[in-house]
Structure 1
Amino acid sequence: MTGRSVSALHEPAREPDPGREPLRIWGGVPLRNPAFTGRESLLLTLQRALERRAKASVLPHALHGMGGVGKTALAVEFAYRYADRYDLVWWIPAEHQSLVLQSLYQLGRHFDTPDTADLQQAANLVLEKLAGSDLRWLLIYDNANEPEDIARLMPSGGGHVILTSRNPTWSDVWDPIEVDVFDRPESIELVRKRSETVSAEDADRLADRLGDLPLALDQAASCQAVTGMPVGEYLSELEQHVRELSGTRPPTYRTTIAALVRLALRRLRSDAPAVAELLEMFAYLGAEPISGGLLRRGRDARVSPALGQALRDEVAWRRATRELRRYGLAKVDADQRIQVHRLFQGVLRDELTEEAAQRGRANVQHLLASANPGDPGDMATWPVHRDIGPHVLPAGLMEAELLDARRVVLDQIRFLYLSGDLEGSQRLGEAAVAAWSKVESTPGLGPNGELTLTAKRRLATALRSLGFNDRARVLSEETLRLLLESPEFGPDHEHTLLTADEVAPNLRIAGLFREALDLDGDNLERHRRRYGDEDDETLKARQNLAVNLRMLSDFAGAHDIDTAVVRTWQQMVSENDNRLLFAQTNLARDLYGLGRYDEALEILQRVLPPYRQQLGPQHPHVLLAGRTLAITLRKVGRYTDALTVAADHHRDSESRYRPEHEHALAAAMTYANTLRVTGELESAEAIATESIDRYLRLFGETHPLSLSAAVNHAIILRGLGEWARARELGERTYAQMTGTLGAGHGYTLSAANNHANDLALAGETEAARRLSAQTFEISREARGGRHPYTLWCGVNAALDAIVAGETEYGEALRDETLAALAGVLGADHPEVIAAGEGRRVECDLEPPPT
C-alpha cells in the first residue's frame, strides 16, 4: 500500500480504532487515478448504503444503460479513501465466474485455507471464513453482470460488499447507487486536469458536445492534449466523424464514442502504426487486463509488420503502450498490464474496417497461440495459462483457422481442470465439443477429428470429477470406440491409450470391476508395445491394473505388480522422487489388504513425511496415503493414534473435495470405523448415516462401495444394541454382495461374517454356525489361513460351534485361532484380548480408492 493516501469523506462511516492494527490484506485493487474528479455526493451515498445494509450495487443510471459513466472508478476511489477503516480490501474481477473463483482462491491463501481439488469448494471455504471473521473487510466485485453466477459467490454477512454492474437487476435486492454522467463543473475540472492550456470556456464546449460522459471526456481530453490540437479544431473533426456515423439520425452516446475512437485511430495510423495495430487487437481480447509480458511471449508469431517490430523491440514496445495510455485509450498499470475499456472494445468491433478487423483478430490469435506455454501438467505454466484464459472466447480461438489457436482451447480445458475450476473446464469442454463436432473438411475437427476427440476425453475427466458419472462413462466409451475404429489412430495410438486410461476409472465407479480389469490389462499390453516396459506411461498402466486387482480383492496379484513397479522406480530415480513415493503407498495398500499391517505401517511412516513436504498435506495422493495410515494404525491396535489421523484426514478431505466425492465419502467411513472402535458409537452412527445417504445418491443401492458402507453401518448399529435394524441391513447387504461380487470376494466374506453375528444375537444358533463355518472355509481359501480377517472368521466359527454343542471342536479351533492372532497381531492387541474374552469379532471394510 506504499504511496496510498486516504482522504476523509464529509461524514465518515466510523473513526479508525487506534487499538487495531492497520490494513493487513490488500489485493487486486487497480491503481488510484490521480485525476479522479468530483463524485463526492456519490461516495457519501455509497458509504451510507454500506453502513445501512452492508451491500451496495454501483449501477449506470437507467437513462443511459451503458458503460463509461465511471462505476469502476468510483469503486476504486472508495477503496483508497476508506482503506484505513478495513482490515481487508479485496478486488474481484467478476465478469466471468472463473475469474471470481480464482480471485477468492488467492484471497484464501492469506487465511491458510486448505488446498482443494475444486475452486468452488475453495471459494466456499473463504466465504465461510469471511462471514465468521471479526475482520473488518471490504470485497469489491467489478463488472458483475450475471446475478445468478455471482450471488452464490459472496459472503453471507460480516463485512461490506460493493458490486459494479451494467445489469440493473441487482437493484432489486441491493441498495442501488446509480452513477450518472458528470455535473458540468466536474467535466470542466477533468478536462483541465488533462490539459492546463485548455480554457474553462473550451472545456465547457467539449463537455457539452460529449454530454458530460466521463469516459468520452477523459479520452477526448487526453487525445487533444497529446496532439496539441486546438479544441475548436478537435471538435470540428469530431463532428465530421459523428455525421459520417449517424447520417440523418440524431447522434447518440455510442455514436460519439465511435467518432472519438475513429479520430484517435486515424491519428495513430498516421503517426504510430504499431499503436494502431495494438489497439485493433483489443476488439478481440477480453475486458480484463492482459499482460504486456504475455503478448511479448508471442513476439515470434506471424503478425502484422508494425506490431511485430514493436513486440520484438523492448523500447518500441514500451513506447507503444505509453502512447496508447496517453491517447486515453487504455490503462497501463505498474505491472505493464493493459486494459481497454469494454465500451471502447465494443465500438472497435463495430467500427473497424473489414481489413482492420481481420488483421486485429489474426494478430490476437497468432499471439496467443505462440504465447501458449503448452502442457498444463507442469504447474510452472499455470500463471501464463491463467493470463490467457479470459481472452480465449473473445479472441475466437475456438473458431480459428490456425490449428495451434484451437490447441490453446484444449490446454485451457485441462488447465481449468487441474487448477480446480471443474465447472469452468466442463463449460469450455462442452463448448469445444459442440463447435468442433459440426465442422467438416477441416483437419483435426469433425466428429472423428483429433482435437474433437481430445476435447471429449478432457470433458469426460471434468464430468467424472464433478460426479456426473454416467455422462462421463458414456462420453469416454464413445471416444474410445471412435479412436479404436479410426484408421488415423487405432488401438496403439497415444490418444487411444490415454482415452482407455480414462474409461477404466468410469467402469470402476460404475462397479464394473471385471470389465475395468480386462480393459486395463489390454491397455497395458498396448503400452508395452508402444513405449516399452520401463517407460513412465507403461509403469502407470501397470499401476492401473493393480488398482483393479485391489477392487477385486486380489491383493496378492496387486502386490506382485506394485513390488515390481517399486523396484523399477528405485533403479531409475532418487528415494524421495514422487513417482517412487506414490508406488510405495500403493504397495502399502496391497500389504494392508493382505493383512500384513506392520509392513504397511512401516512403509507409510517412512514415505509420508517426504511426500507431504514435496506435494503438501492436501494433495490427493498424500490424502489417500493418509487414509491408509489411519486404517493401518487401527488394524495394529493403535486406536488413539488412528483416531487422530482419521479425524485430520476426514477434515482435510472434506476441505479439499465436495462432500459427495468418492474420497470424501471414504474418509468419512474411515473416521466412522475409527470412532466405533474407540467407543464413540453415537458419533460414528451419525457420520455413517450421512455418508450412506450420499453413497446411495451417487452410486446407487447395489454398488460395492454403497454395500461396503452399509456393512460398516450395520456393525455400528449392533454396537448400539439396535439388533433388529442391524440384522435387516446386514442380511440384505450380504445377499446383494453375493450377487454382485460373488461368495469369495473379501467384501462378501466380511458381510457374511457380520451377518453370522446377527444370527447369533437373534438366537438362531444353527444358522449362525453354518454361515460362520462356511465363511471361515471360504476365507482360508481366498485370503489364506493367517490373514487376520480369516482368523476373525475362525474365532466366530469357534464360538458358534461351542454354542451349538460342538464343544471339543470349537474350543480347539478357538485356541488355535487365538494363538495365530497373537502371533500375527500381538497378544496385547485390543481385538485379540476381546476375542480371548469370548466376544464376537466384526470385520469392517475399507475399500481402496477406485
Structure 2
Amino acid sequence: MSGDPAALMIEPLVGWPRKAQAGQSYLVTVDLNGPAAPEDWPYEEEEFDFGVSLDGSRRFVCEALNEPSVVLHRFGGTYGPARFVIKASRAPGPGTIWLTISNRWGVPVRTVELPSEIVADAVVGQGHVVVPALNGRTATLPAEHTVPGQRTGRRPASGVWSPHHITISYAGTDRAWAVWTARQLERHGCQTFLLRWDPPPGVPLARLLSDLLGAPGRVLLLLDEEYLRLGQRTEPEWNEALGAVVRADPDRFAAVDLSARTLPPSTAVLGPVSLRELDPAEALRRLLTTLDLQDARPEPEDESVAPRFPDAPPAVWNVPRRNFRFTGRDTVLEELRALFENGPPAGARVALRGISGVGKSQIAIEYAHRFANEYDVVWWISASFRATARQQFADLAEPLGLADSSALPERVRAVREALRTGRPHRRWLLVLDSADDLEQVYDLLPEAGGHVAVTTLTQGWAASGGVAEVQVERFTRAESISYARRHVERLTEDEADQLADAVEDFPLLLAQTTAWLDANRMSAAEYIGLLRRADADEIGIQTLPDYPIGFQTSWALTLDSLEQDSPEATELLRLFAMFSPGSIPVRQLQRARPGDLPTLLAELAADPAHWLGALRRLSESTAVRMDYVQPSDSVGYVDSVEMHRLYHRFLRRTLTPGERDELSAVACRVLVSADPRSPSEVANWPVYAELLPHLHPSGALESSEAAVRDLVLNCIEYLRLRDEESTGLTLCEQVLARWRIRLAPTHPSMLVLVHQHANMLRRCGRYREAEAVGRAVVEQLAEERPSDDLDLLRAEAGLGGSLMALGLFKEAHQLFDDVWRAYDVLDGPEAPRTQACLNNLGVALGLLGRYQEAADVHAQLLVLRRQSFGSDHQSTLLSGLTYARSLRLLGRHQDATALQGVNSLLHRQTMGDHHPQTLAALHNQALCLRRSGDIPAAADLLRSLVERCRNLQGVRHPMTLMVQADHASFLRSYGDLTESAELTDAVADGYRHLLGDDHPYTVGVLGNRGLLLWLGGDRAAGARLIEQALRGMTNAVGADHPWTLGCALNAAAVRRLSGRPDEAAELRRETLLRARDAVGRDHPLVRACEDASGTGAEEPPGWDFEPQPI
C-alpha cells in the first residue's frame, strides 16, 4: 500500500530513565501501539515496519542492541520492542534523548523528546533497575512509560533471579550506610546497585515496592525514620503495602534497622536486624547473616580508600550539628558529589552560590554528614571574617599532628602543605562557609588535593577559574510542600502549597513560618492571609532590598509573639544583633560583670534555667542556631550561637537610633569585660580571636570610652604578635578613619594606633608608607616633647625599623643608638625594651658593615639575656643567633659553626622546626657549614630550607628571598648553573618588587646574576651587570662598605680578563686598602683581594653577595 503510515495513529511506548545516574548504562525499549481492534486497521497490508533511532544530544551515548526497528501487526501488536543501551555522561544536569520513528522508506514520521536528568545517585520511583550483564555491559532496565500525552502500555517482565545481585534501597540521609553496605557485599562476591528511595507523592506505596522487584535479585531496605517518612506515608499505608508485597515474595526482600528508635510494627514482616551502636565487625556479621552470606570468603580491604564504617567518625571532624529535619535538595547534593568525584585528580573545588536565605550552609552541612565516611578529615570554617577564617584554618594544625607555632601564618602554611601533600590524610573535605570575598580567604586554599566546598553569595569563585559552581535556587514547590508538612503535621497538602506560595519557596522563610505555625495554634489559612496582606508600613520596619515582603512580615509576627510571651528573650535577641552573626558570645554575655547588662537581662543571666530556656525559645522561633556542650560532670550549656546573616540584617533594621546606641554600649561593655588585657600572653590568644569579629558590629570602633579603645588596641596588638599583618593593617586603617575625627594626633591612644599602623605597613612590605607615617609622628612629637619622652622614643624606634628595611642604614643606626641610650638611662640595661633596642642597634651595625662592633653588641646582649631569662628563652636564642652570624661575617667560621650548631639545636628543641626564628638559625648554620668546608651538609640543609621557607612563609617573604639568594650562590659555586640562574632571577624579581631597583639587596643580587652570566659564557652581559652592581652598591651604601668592596673585587677580575689590566690593578689596589680598613687584615675579603693581586689574578669573578635579615 502507498498510504502515509502516519495515518495509522501509532503511539510510541518507551521505557527510559527519567533520572539517570551519572556514568551508568541503561536499557531503553521502544515499542508501538496501534489500533486496539483489528477492524480499525485501515490498510490492506497486515504489517508495517518502522525504523527507530535514538539521539543522546551529547549527554547520552546510544547504541542499538538488535535491529533498530519495530514491526506493527494488524492482529497482535508488535513482535517485540527495539532495544538500546544508553550511557549517561559523567556530568550531572538536564538531558534529552530524541526518539525518531521512520517509515519503511526512511522518512521520519514521528519525533519525540524524552527528558532525562543526569544525577549522581539513582532514584527510586523512576522504575529502572540494574541488569548485571547485558551483552557484556552493565545496564539498567527501566519500566515502560508512554510518551507525554499517551496512554500506558505493557510492563516488561521481571529480571532474571540472581541471588548474588542485591539492590540497596536507602534514604538519602543514609547514603554513608548504603555505600559501606555495598562495599562489604561486593567484597563478599555480590553485585550491588544503590537506589535512593524518594517516593513521588500520589503513587501507591505497594506499586513502588513492587517496582523494586524488577531487579534481578534481592532487595535490601535500609530502614530508619527518614526512609519511612519520605513521601508523607502513614503507618497504615506501610502496613498494607509491606503486607501485600513482602508476603507475596518474602525471599526477595531483606532489611536492616538503622533507626535510633524502635521501628513501627508495620516493618516486622521484614524482620529487620539492627546495625546501630555496634562495632564494625558485629555489624558486618549481622548484615551477612541477614543475607545468608555468612560463609562467603571476603576479598582483602584497602582501608586507605575504602568507605569507613558509618558510626566511626572521620579522624578529624569539625562540622556543625546535622539538621535532622533537613528536607529535599537531593539534586543539588548529587550535583555537588558528582563535581567532586569527577573533578581533576589534583583536587576539586566547588562553590555553592545563591542569594542569602536559600540554604547554602545547610546543604554544605548535610553534604559533610552524608558523605562523612568517605573522608578522613572534614573541617568547617566560618569564612565571613578573615581573622576568624585564618584562625580556624590554623586550628587544624593540632589534630593533623603538625608542629605547633605561635605565628599564625606559619601554622596556616603548614596546614596548607599537609593538605596539599595528603600527609597524614589524603581524603579530606574543607568547607569555607559564607566566603563572599574571595580575596580574603583564597590564600587558605591548598594548591592541590582533597575537596573544597565554598558557600558564597558572589560569582567571584567561579570566575577565578579552577572552581566549579552549583547554583542554589529556592526550594522547588514539591520540596516546599514536603518541608512544610514535615515540620507542621497539621498542614494539608493544599495549605502547605499556599504557604509555600506566600513565602515564594524561600527555605529560610519557610523554616521560620513553619516554626511559628508549629508553636502557635493560629489556623494556617489565617496566618497565610496575614503574610499576604501585610506591607512594610503596617509592620513598621525598613524592608530588605531584593527580598519578598514575606520575610519582613513573618519575622515581624514572630517578634511580636516573642515580645508578648518572653520580653527578656526578645531583649536578648536584639542584643545578639550587636555582635557578629557567625559567633555570638553567649558565654561572655552570661558571665558579664554586674552592671554591664540591663536589669532584665542581668536577672536572666543570673538564673541558669531561665537563661537556657530563653535561648531555647530563640532557637525554636527565630533564625538562630545553638551549639550545646554537655560536660560529663555538670549540666549542659549553650557554647555558641549563630544567627543567619539575613535575619541579623533584619533585626538591626528594626532598631531605632536610640535603641542601637543603648545596645551598642551594652555590647561594648560585655566585650571589655571579656578582654584579658594581656595580648602578649599566648594563653589569651583564643579569647582575642573570639573578640575580633565583634569589634565592628558592636560599635567598638566608634566608641569614645577609654576602656573600649584599649580593647581595640589590644586586639591590634594580638594580631601583631600572631604575625597577622594583613588583617592588622585593615583593622588599623578602619580605626584610624574613626579616631581621627574625635582624637588629637598626640592623644595616647592615637599614638599607639599610629605606631601599630606603621608597624603593620612595614610587615606588609609597604616600607615607604611606613616611613612616611613614622616620620610624621616623630617630627610632630619632637616639636612638642622632650627627647626622652617614651612616646617619642617608641616612634623613633619604629621609624628606625622602616629605614633599615629601606636600606637607609646610617639614619636607622643613629635612631637606634639614641633610643637605646635613652632607655638605658630611664630603665636600665636589663629592661626588655632596652635590650630590644640594643638588638636593633647591633643589627644596624651589621648592615653598615661594621661587623666587629656588631659582634661586640650581640655578645654583650647575649650575656645580659642569659642572666635575665636563661639559656633557652626565645630572646636569648635570638641573641645567640645574631652573635654567631656576626662571627661568620667576621670570617671566624669555625667559632661561628660551633656556636650556631648548639644554637640551632636549642631552637628546634624549644621552638620547633617550623618557627621563623628556627628557620633563621638553620639558615645561618647552613652558611657556617659552607664556609667551614662541610659542603654536603650545607647543600642538604640549604635545599630543605628553600622548600620549607616557600611553604611556610611564601615565595616573596624576605626570609624566603634571602635563603633562595644564598642557595643560588651555593649552586653557582658547586656546579648547577641552570637552577642557580632560575633562583637568582626569582630573587631579583622579588627584591625589585619588595624594595625597589636601587635597594642594595636588589643591586647585590643583580651582581650575582652577572657572575652567572660570566661563568655561563655570556661575558659581555655578565660584565655589564657586575659593573652596574658596583656603581649601584656604591650609591646605596658607600665605597667602603664590605658589600661594595665585594662588588669591586668582581669588577676588577672582569676588567683584568677583558683586557683592561691597568684599570683592574688600580681597582684591586684601592679595594685592598679599603677592605683592610673596613674589616681588618685577617678577614676573608682581604685575603681574596690579596690573592687577586698575586697568584689569583687570572681567576674569574666569584665573590657572593649575601643579603642579611632586616
Q: In the alignment, what sits opposite 2:707?
A: 404
Cα distance in 1, alignment partners of residues 353 and 515 from structure 2: 26
Q: In the alignment, what sits opposite 1:460?
A: 758
Q: Displacement, 1:213?
A: 4.0
Cα distance in 1, alignment partners of residues 588 and 496 from structure 2: 38
2:364 to 75, 100, 109: 75
Q: Displacement, 1:628?
A: 1.4
Aligned residues of 2:420 and 2:449 also touching (Cα < 8 A): yes
- Rate the CA distance shift 1:483–1:658 in 2: closer, same or farther, 3 A: farther
Matched, 1:378 2:681: yes
Q: In the alignment, what sits opposite 1:142?
A: 433
User: Rg bigger for which structure?
Assistant: 2
TM norm structure 1: 0.83
Report SS of the residue matched to 1:339.
strand
| Unaligned 5+ runs, structure 2 | 1-170, 185-300, 630-638
TM norm structure 2: 0.65
Q: In the alignment, what sits opposite 1:293?
A: 587
Q: In the alignment, what sits opposite 2:660?
A: 357
Aligned residues of 1:5 and 1:80 also touching (Cα < 8 A): no
Deviations 1:38-70 (A, max 9, x none): 33344345445655666654444xxxxx53332
Q: In the alignment, what sits opposite 1:94?
A: 383
Moved more, 29-38 or 202-211: 202-211
Q: In the alignment, what sits opposite 2:852?
A: 556
Report SS of the residue matched to 1:72.
helix
Moved more, 294-303 or 71-80: 294-303
Deviations 1:792-841 (A, max 9, x none): 222222337xx7xxxxxxxxxxxxxxxxxxxxxxxxxxxxxxxxxx9678
Q: Displacement, 1:191?
A: 5.7
Q: Displacement, 1:288?
A: 0.9
1:395 to 698, 712, 721: 698
Moved more, 245-254 or 207-216: 245-254
Matched, 1:571 2:867: yes
Cα distance in 1, alignment partners of residues 542 and 829 from structure 2: 75
Q: Displacement, 1:309?
A: 3.6
Moved more, 105-114 or 247-256: 247-256
Matched, 1:702 2:998: yes
Q: Displacement, 1:236?
A: 9.0
Q: Displacement, 1:369?
A: 2.2
- Rate the CA distance shift 1:579–1:312 in 2: closer, same or farther, 3 A: farther
Q: In the alignment, what sits opposite 1:827?
A: none
Report SS of the residue matched to 1:334.
strand
Report SS of the residue matched to 2:471.
strand
- Rate the CA distance shift 1:417–1:215 in 2: closer, same or farther, 3 A: same
Aligned residues of 2:1075 and 2:1086 also touching (Cα < 8 A): yes
1:85 to 354, 374, 388: 374
Cα distance in 1, alignment partners of residues 447 and 948 from structure 2: 23
Cα distance in 2, alignment partners of residues 46 and 470 from structure 1: 47
- Rate the CA distance shift 1:473–1:117 in 2: closer, same or farther, 3 A: farther
Q: How does 1:5-44 map to 2 (within 5 A)?
A: 7-8=174-175, 19=302, 20-21=305-306, 22=308, 24=314, 26-44=316-334
Q: How does 1:711-730 map to 2 (within 5 A)?
A: 711-730=1007-1026
Aligned residues of 2:536 and 2:543 also touching (Cα < 8 A): no
Q: Displacement, 1:513?
A: 0.9
Moved more, 451-460 or 710-719: 710-719
Aligned residues of 1:324 and 1:330 also touching (Cα < 8 A): yes
Q: In the alignment, what sits opposite 1:819?
A: none
- Rate the CA distance shift 1:485–1:249 in 2: closer, same or farther, 3 A: closer
Q: How does 1:454-493 map to 2 (within 5 A)?
A: 454-486=752-784, 491-493=787-789
Cα distance in 2, alignment partners of residues 464 and 102 from structure 1: 22
Cα distance in 2, alignment partners of residues 253 and 848 from structure 1: 58
1:620 to 912, 916, 922: 916
Please tell me the residue identity of whatever aligns with 1:219. Answer: Q
Q: In the alignment, what sits opposite 1:245?
A: 538
2:980 to 675, 684, 688: 684
Report SS of the residue matched to 1:392.
helix
Aligned residues of 2:1054 and 2:1100 also touching (Cα < 8 A): no
Cα distance in 2, alignment partners of residues 658 and 468 from structure 1: 16
Which protein has the bigger helix share? 1
Q: Displacement, 1:204?
A: 7.0
Aligned residues of 1:118 and 1:656 also touching (Cα < 8 A): no
Q: Displacement, 1:538?
A: 0.4
**Which structure is richer in relative contact order (CA contacts within 8 A, separation 6 or more)?**
1
Cα distance in 2, alignment partners of residues 484 and 249 from structure 1: 52
Q: In the alignment, what sits opposite 1:544?
A: 840
Deviations 1:458-498 (A, max 9, x none): 222222222222112111211222333345xx543443333
Q: How does 1:180-579 map to 2 (within 5 A)?
A: 180-181=474-475, 183=477, 186-187=480-481, 189-190=483-484, 193=487, 210=503, 213-223=506-516, 225=518, 245-246=538-539, 255-269=549-563, 271-296=565-590, 298-300=592-594, 302-312=596-606, 314-335=608-629, 336-437=639-740, 439-440=741-742, 445-486=743-784, 491-579=787-875
Please tell me the residue identity of whatever aligns with 2:433. Answer: D
Cα distance in 2, alignment partners of residues 117 and 765 from structure 1: 56
- Rate the CA distance shift 1:603–1:197 in 2: closer, same or farther, 3 A: same
Aligned residues of 1:13 and 1:51 also touching (Cα < 8 A): no
1:591 to 887, 891, 895: 887
Q: Displacement, 1:298?
A: 4.0
Q: Displacement, 1:8?
A: 2.7
Q: Displacement, 1:242?
A: 6.3
Please tell me the residue identity of whatever aligns with 1:340. Answer: M
Cα distance in 2, alignment partners of residues 24 and 185 from structure 1: 30
Q: Displacement, 1:225?
A: 4.9
Aligned residues of 1:291 and 1:337 also touching (Cα < 8 A): yes
Q: In the alignment, what sits opposite 1:807?
A: none
Moved more, 694-703 or 498-507: 694-703
Moved more, 25-34 or 206-215: 206-215
Which protein has the bigger strand share? 2
Cα distance in 2, alignment partners of residues 401 and 594 from structure 1: 54
Q: In the alignment, what sits opposite 1:849?
A: 1109
Cα distance in 2, alignment partners of residues 9 and 465 from structure 1: 47
Q: How does 1:779-790 map to 2 (within 5 A)?
A: 779-790=1075-1086
- Rate the CA distance shift 1:485–1:25 in 2: closer, same or farther, 3 A: farther
- Rate the CA distance shift 1:587–1:311 in 2: closer, same or farther, 3 A: farther
| Unaligned 5+ runs, structure 1 | 61-65, 804-837
Deviations 1:205-236 (A, max 9, x none): 76666555433343344455556777688779
- Rate the CA distance shift 1:630–1:188 in 2: closer, same or farther, 3 A: closer
RMSD, aligned α-carbons: 3.9
Identity of aligned residues (%): 27
Q: Displacement, 1:248?
A: 14
| Count of matched residue positions in the alignment of Structure 1 and Structure 2 | 798
Please tell me the residue identity of whatever aligns with 2:328. Answer: G
Cα distance in 1, alignment partners of residues 724 and 542 from structure 2: 47
Q: Displacement, 1:519?
A: 0.8
Aligned residues of 2:480 and 2:510 also touching (Cα < 8 A): no
Aligned residues of 1:556 and 1:594 also touching (Cα < 8 A): yes
1:767 to 1051, 1058, 1063: 1063
- Rate the CA distance shift 1:446–1:191 in 2: closer, same or farther, 3 A: farther
- Rate the CA distance shift 1:165–1:745 in 2: closer, same or farther, 3 A: closer
- Rate the CA distance shift 1:666–1:409 in 2: closer, same or farther, 3 A: same
Cα distance in 1, alignment partners of residues 865 and 408 from structure 2: 33
Deviations 1:552-602 (A, max 9, x none): 111121222222212222222222122211111111122112221222112
Cα distance in 2, alignment partners of residues 368 and 526 from structure 1: 37
